[in-house]
């Protein structure tokens, strides 16, 4: 079953490290080994923005891996800091689907 979850801001995931983008699978697996409270997750990540002036949505989906905290919060250690800030301020919707394919 695929579970859709939007990227959260704040919360307990903030104390985990950011890792370089480009190898989400290895980064997420390494974090799950170092931090036993993190669960490894794999599926798809979708970025959605609303384009001005008419506000229509544009989306892009890629295969991806991330971690999930014991409280269900997503920690995407390889998410670009600019994208993370945009998501936290509501300018970008980042959605994760476990087990999905692009």
Peptide bond into 53 cis (omega under 30): yes
pLDDT tens column, 16-28: 999 998 899 999 9
What distances in angstroms separate CA 57 from CA 61, 63, 86, 92, one per listed residue? 13, 20, 15, 10
pTM: 0.82
Give the ranges where 10-96 is alpha helix by DSSP (H). Answer: 24-34, 81-88
pLDDT tens column, 47-86: 998 777 787 888 999 999 999 998 888 999 999 988 888 8
């Amino acid at each position: 079953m695929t579970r859709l979850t939007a990227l959260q801001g704040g919360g307990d995931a903030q104390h985990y490290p950011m890792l370089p983008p480009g190898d989400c699978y290895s980064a997420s697996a390494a974090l799950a080994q170092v931090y036993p409270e993190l669960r490894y997750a794999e599926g798809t990540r979708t970025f959605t923005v609303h384009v001005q002036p008419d506000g229509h949505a544009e989306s892009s989906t890629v295969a991806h891996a991330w971690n999930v905290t014991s409280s269900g919060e997503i920690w995407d250690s390889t998410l670009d800091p600019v994208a993370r800030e945009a998501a936290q301020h509501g300018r970008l919707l980042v959605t994760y689907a476990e087990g999905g394919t692009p």
